[in-house]
Amino acid sequence: MIDFFTQSYHLQVWVVVAGLLVGMLAHVFVSPLKYVVTIVHEFGHALVARLTFGKVYRMRINHDSSGSTEVKTGVSGFFATLSGYPMPFLLALLLSFLIKWGRPQLTFVFLILIGFYILFHLRNAWGFFSVIVVMLVSVLAILYATAFVNFALTAFLIMILVMGGMKDIFVLFLHYHGVSDADILSQQLRGFHAMIWKIFFFLVACFITLEIIRIFWELLV
């Protein structure tokens, strides 16, 4: 079970809380962190395309923090398109369980695996640079970070993923420029307006976020 039940319980709790608070501030003031959310979003498309026996043709992570993933159309393409916006929240949920189980160091193993998978499909230089930076930071964390730092960094990343994921969904409702995943889904499944898919993304995000909050609440009380 998690190290929270040792004599260092209170210190670890405050380390996690500090990581969450710093992540909240960093999301607002450190704009390059938004690329992490984009990388995870596009990874969601590619991963689900593979899991549903589809094909990933190419991926891009752009300088403006937008991204794109081209996959085979059909049923696989539908589920791949559906998975982009929920993926940052799903990864944040997984990382929350890693904190609960006392294994935050696995966070960086997952990030490296995600990076390797994406590198095989990327087709632009900025995308390569963004992913390589994330992987290098993960390697440094594995080699040099202490247990407390791993807890803090994992909590930090959870906040970046949740707040960044929510911001992306709000952008869908407010002022999204171009063709969004919701628009593509409405074209693939006639009769379901894009607004239905936007609401779906929002509800899924809220549900997973509430589960993450529940996990941290159990650790704090």
Q: How big is the chain by its Cα radius of gyration, in Å?
A: 18
This prediction has a pTM of: 0.92
Query: Is the distance from CB of 154 to CB of 95 less than 8 angstroms?
Result: yes
Q: What is the pLDDT, as a whole number, of residue 4?
A: 45
pLDDT tens, position by position, 76-102: 899 999 999 999 999 999 999 999 999
Does the pLDDT of residue 24 top 80, yes or no?
A: yes
Nearest Cα to 67, choosing from 58, 59, 78?
Answer: 59
Q: Which residues contact 16 (CB under 8 A, 6 or more apart)?
A: 99, 151, 152, 155, 216, 219
- In 3-state terms, what secondary structure has residue 67? strand
Packing angle of the helix pair 147-174, 34-51 (nearest 10 deg): 80
- Which of 1-10, 92-101, 167-176 tops mean pLDDT? 92-101
* pLDDT grade for 178, boundaries at 50, 70 and 90: confident
